[in-house]
Amino acid sequence: MPTIEDRLARLEALEEIRMLKHRYFRACDAKDPTGMRACFVAEGADIYYGPALGSFDDADGLVAVYSRIALQRVDDRFVVLDMHHGMHPSIRLTSPETATGEWTLRFRQVDMSARTERVTALDYDDDYVVEDGEWKISKCHVRVLWSIERALTDDVKVVQ
């Protein structure tokens, strides 16, 4: 039977991993590449974001693509607006310093240049490790379940 200390350590680890993933989603929406990068291991992350964004063997590559797309501005306004809603986490501790996780994401993106809105449902398959005393994402694979893209009509006003 696990001790109270063991049970508390497990609960703390699960909550730290949840908060890590939420920090990642918030950094993406806040257009914060530094905060986004800080969620991953320092070197050697295994990242797959599907055919649209591709594969990366380090988080720096993902952050570079993200920065190029998400930080683009026209007339001092962002061209691409994102909304990440992560839910339904299923996290399993595999050791005191490793874990796996699955998440469902509801993603919405407005592209002001193309005048489109995209709504996507996808799943994340993650691995986590403790690095320098903090939980970090070491693997992040995305699988798109479905996506809808529609044109923004002329009467649609987007305020930012």
Each residue's pLDDT, cut to its tens digit, for the chain (160 residues) gives 989 999 999 999 999 999 999 999 999 999 999 999 999 999 999 999 998 899 999 999 999 999 999 999 999 999 999 999 999 999 999 999 999 999 999 999 999 999 999 999 999 999 999 999 999 999 999 999 999 999 999 999 998 8
Q: Are 100 and 94 in contact (CB under 8 A)?
A: yes
What domains lie within the chain, and their CATH numbers?
A: 4-151 (3.10.450.50)
The pLDDT value recorded for residue 114 is 96
Q: Which residues contact 92 (CB under 8 A, 6 or more apart)?
A: 99, 100, 101
Instruction: Write out the two tokens for 110.
Output: 């407005």
Instruction: Write out the two tokens for 9.
Output: 């350590």
pTM here is 0.94
Q: Are 152 and 116 in contact (CB under 8 A)?
A: yes
Angle at 119 between CA 151 and CA 86, to 5 degrees: 155
DSSP string, 87-143: EEEEEEEEETTEEEEEEEEEEEEEETTTTEEEEEEEEEEEEEEEETTEEEEEEEEEE
Dihedrals phi, psi of 107, to nearest 5 degrees:
-120, 135
